[in-house]
Structure 1
Amino acid sequence: MAIDSALEAVRAGMDYERLRLDAASRNIANANVPVAHGKAATLWRVDGGVAAGGFARVAGSPDDLVIGEREAQTREVHDPGHPMANAEGMVRYPQVDLVQEMTTMMTASRGYEANVRSFNFLRNMMLRAIEIGAK
């Protein structure tokens, strides 16, 4: 395996984990944002990559990865004084599983850190090879 392709795989992994982190943090941020009646609640997710073609696709073309929205369930809270309450006094919010989103954030953060360590290891190995070759 050429060093360039290894560095590209590490870069793709860092891109993927960054997008997962971004999607999870957006979902957590929107957990308490009311949804207008007549509109669908949405949650963020990473589209492309693993879901669309396996690890080889993620490693080969990280540019295909995007953050997309998907329709989500809603939860209703009784708050008659809220400006977005319906006639029964219910306000709709997206159904966000905070435990799942926090778990995603933690695993994405650890995955990103692992990719950074791999990148630094490969970089140091290249520098050492250049140093040896210069002697």
Structure 2
Amino acid sequence: MGIFAAIGVAGTGLTVHRKWLDAVSDNIANINTVTATSEEAFRARYVVAQEITSGDGGVQVAGARFGDPEGRLVYEPDNPLADEGGYVRYPDIDLSSQMTQLIMAQRGYQASAAVIDRAKEQYQAALQIGRS
């Protein structure tokens, strides 16, 4: 694999990890979003990645999966959105799982960025050799 191919493959990794980070941060930001029981809860978004088998390869976002619109019912009779029974609906999002995914996506992004940096350094070194 050449230097430019490595940059291309790592670039696809950057894109997927950025979209994963976006989804996780959106999930975390909406973890306490409350709705009435007559409405759907915020649906967590999960990025689905897929290998690129053509060309130099890499990875791409194949789509997204969404969490359960039922969420979880919580008894909060003082909440203005509460139904007659005193219940409201929260998203079914596990904070510890989201934080784990956040760390994995962040590390993957950093690894892809490091590959691009190393490939760029190799390319610049090759240019210096050619000038000598």
User: For the superposition of Structure 1 and Structure 2, which TM-score range results when normalised by the shorter chain?
Assistant: 0.7 to 0.9
1:68 positional shift: 4.1
| Equivalent residues of 2:3, 2:122 under 8 A apart | no
Match of 1:9 in 2: 9
1:107 positional shift: 0.7
Match of 1:59 in 2: 58
> What is the alpha-carbon distance in structure 2 between the residues aligned to residue 30 and residue 67 of structure 1?
20
> What is the alpha-carbon distance in structure 2 between the residues aligned to residue 127 and residue 100 of structure 1?
41
Q: Partner letter of residue 3 of structure 2?
A: I
Taking structure 2 as the reference length, what is the TM-score of the superposition?
A: 0.85
Match of 2:92 in 1: 95
Q: Partner letter of residue 44 of structure 1?
A: R
Q: Percent identity?
A: 30
2:128 counterpart of 1:131 = yes
2:17 counterpart of 1:23 = no
User: What is the number of residues matched between the two proteins?
Assistant: 128
Q: Partner letter of residue 125 of structure 1?
A: Q
> Greater share of helix residues, 1 or 2?
1
Which residue of 66, 78, 96 corresponds with 1:70?
66
| Secondary structure, counterpart of 2:5 in structure 1 | helix
Deviation digits for residues 81-129 of structure 1, max 9, x if unmatched?
2121111011110110111110000011111111111111000000000
1:22 positional shift: 1.1
Q: Partner letter of residue 99 of structure 2?
A: M
Taking structure 1 as the reference length, what is the TM-score of the superposition?
A: 0.83
Relative distance call for 1:32 and 1:67 in structure 2 (3 A) is farther
Relative distance call for 1:33 and 1:69 in structure 2 (3 A) is farther
| Secondary structure, counterpart of 2:44 in structure 1 | strand
| Equivalent residues of 1:44, 1:67 under 8 A apart | no
Structure 1: 5+ residue stretches without partners: none
Q: Which runs of 4+ in 1 moved over 2 A?
A: 35-41, 54-58, 65-69
| Equivalent residues of 1:34, 1:94 under 8 A apart | yes
